[in-house]
A and B are shown apart, each in its own frame.
Chain A
Amino acid sequence: MNQQAVESNNDSKMTFDIKAVRKSFPILDQNVNGKPLIYLDNAASAQKPDTVIQSISDYYCHDNSNVHRGAHTLGDRATAAFEGARETVRRFINAASTKEIIWTGGTTEAINLVASGLTASLKADDEIIVSRMEHHANIVPWQMLAERTGAILKVIEINEAGELQEGAFDKLLTERTKIVAVTQVSNVLGTINPVKEIIDKAKAAGAITLIDGAQAVPHFLVDVQALDCDYFVFSSHKLFGPTGIGVLYGKEDRLNALPPYQGGGEMIERVTFEKTTYNELPYKFEAGTPPISEAIGLAKAIDYFTVFDRQSIELHENNLLNYANSMVSDVPGMRIIGTAASKVPVMSFMIDGLHPSDIGTLLDQQGIAIRTGHHCAMPLMDFYGLPGTARASFAFYNTQSEVEKLFECLQKIQRLFT
């Protein structure tokens, strides 16, 4: 089915068949601690379909070469595949041009690139707005920028349900606001934020907007032109692609206005000891040999993932979350952290009498992989007064019976160990 999946075009979407989908993810078919693996740590890193794995192997078996050198056939093939991957990403998020697609090491590096590049644009008392539910990757680079420039970091607070407080952003947004950097989806709570509304308001106030899309793109389609944000960032490995690569989308004029991030090969036009001129977009921001096989793998992941009818995937994921929610009351002392009205299938939870790390260890004994801890969102943990949470995060290859098994195991843990 994979060959078929890769070759089918976007006009004829494939019906979503969970059994066939699971067969495409070889890692899922194994026992862990003597039990069939149930992988519910997708928000940390998602698994890879065989087409992605095969594409990386094929690249190294047949085409491996450096890109943009043009002296031989392998180099031409590698370049074509690599630049083809950029076009796949462009189409995936509907950017206007491949010049706006910059390869980075991941979401974190993408945000650091922008924060670093905006140093000269900020002065003392300018303001940067983030939200309470940001991942550290969308807090610390801005804090560092604030330290460099004397700018001030402002925080959109949230309510108990884990939604941005009504009206809180409006109160923070002033003529001093220069940057608004918010996540589209919370990695801990699953909350989907109304980023379109935030972008529109920020834009009207003259602020630059950056949207952290790392947790959004695995769950729903994003159109960066419709959002009209200045920057949009995400990682490959959470989107069923390889680790080590991510994407910075930036509007062309914004990217042209940013200085280069790192110096080296690829990003230059001409180098003399007196003066170096820089390459054009997107290469200006891609110093050194880029992650070639990773880009090819990411494109395959997008190909895989976009052949399915989106609505049927979203429906399946919603069903998983609703099913999970319906069983919470069967586990005495269990409560959900993050009960926003609009959520992706991410379930953070606590069970009275157990530390999240206890839950993680005991589920692992039963073959179930979840994440426990502060999830790189300590300010959010402080808000809830929690040392961390246990988090089950679902992907489209998870099944209802896996959700059932999770709750069976949680009941058992609660019964035996509290």
Chain B
Amino acid sequence: MTIDKHTQFTQNDFGGSINTDEILDTFEFLEDWEERYAYIIDLGKKLPEFPESEKVEANYVHGCQSQVWLIHYLDKASGKLYLLIDSDALIVRGLAAIVLAAMNAKSPNELLAVNVEEIFEKMDLIRHVSATRGNGLRSMVKKVQVIAEQLI
């Protein structure tokens, strides 16, 4: 690996300048489904690079349709948990970006206090998190929560 793990996980703005409040504020002004989905897809394009070598079974999030990968890194110095997520579907990448904005760069305890469903509810995207949609988002969030629980 050319760059160290710490840099790879922490050199991005998710949970920093890209955060839930900012996303919700922007989203509120989008008028139709074209604008909303264009914004979601754009958010996905901002996701930090996910190392190809980590796209292995152990990091695979089992959903029904698109492929999702998730890895994490606990920064011992700050006690913060960092996440990287990737998917082969544009919209799922965008939804992953919303998850990352809400959950990245927080201590495991802070992370577990985040109510992701509420965020998706506010964005009227709740059906993406519901059990009927097999796009892996629900299992993505669940996996992050399990990781955080194990680190406490």
Question: Do A and B interact?
Answer: yes
Q: Which of A356-390 contact B (CB under 8 A)?
A: 356-358, 361-362, 365-366, 372-373, 387-388
> In whole Å, how far is A300's beta carbon from the nearest beta carbon of chain B?
29
Contact size class for B? 10 to 19
A387-B37 contact, Cβ under 8 Å, with A355-B88, A361-B91: no
Quick check: is B67 within 8 A (CB to CB) of the other chain?
yes
Quick check: is A341 within 8 A (CB to CB) of the other chain?
no
Quick check: is B33 within 8 A (CB to CB) of the other chain?
yes
**25 pairs, CB–CB < 8 Å, chain A vs chain B:** A353-B90, A355-B65, A355-B66, A355-B88, A355-B90, A355-B91, A355-B92, A356-B65, A357-B91, A357-B92, A357-B135, A358-B89, A358-B90, A358-B91, A361-B37, A362-B37, A362-B91, A365-B33, A372-B65, A373-B64, A387-B67, A387-B88, A412-B34, A416-B34, A416-B38
A417-B90 contact, Cβ under 8 Å, with A357-B135, A365-B33: yes
In contact, A357 and B41 (Cβ under 8 angstroms): no
Chain B residues with CB under 8 Å of A416's CB are 34, 38
In contact, B37 and A417 (Cβ under 8 angstroms): yes
Chain A residues with CB under 8 Å of B37's CB are 361-362, 365, 417
* In the bound complex, CA of A366 to CA of B32 (Å): 11
Residue of B nearest to A372 (CB): B65
> In whole Å, how far is A219's beta carbon from the nearest beta carbon of chain B?
26
Quick check: is A20 within 8 A (CB to CB) of the other chain?
no
Interface size on A (CB < 8 Å)? 18
Quick check: is A354 within 8 A (CB to CB) of the other chain?
yes
User: Given known contacts A373-B134, A387-B65, what 15 new A-B pairs fall within 8 Å (CB)?
Assistant: A353-B90, A354-B90, A355-B66, A355-B89, A357-B89, A361-B37, A361-B91, A362-B37, A365-B33, A365-B37, A366-B33, A387-B67, A388-B65, A412-B34, A416-B38
Chain B 82-96 against A: per-residue CB contact (8 Å), 1 yes, 0 no? 000001111110000
Residue of B nearest to A33 (CB): B33
* In the bound complex, CA of A289 to CA of B91 (Å): 46
In contact, B41 and A417 (Cβ under 8 angstroms): yes
> In whole Å, how far is B106's beta carbon from the nearest beta carbon of chain A?
28
* In the bound complex, CA of A373 to CA of B133 (Å): 12
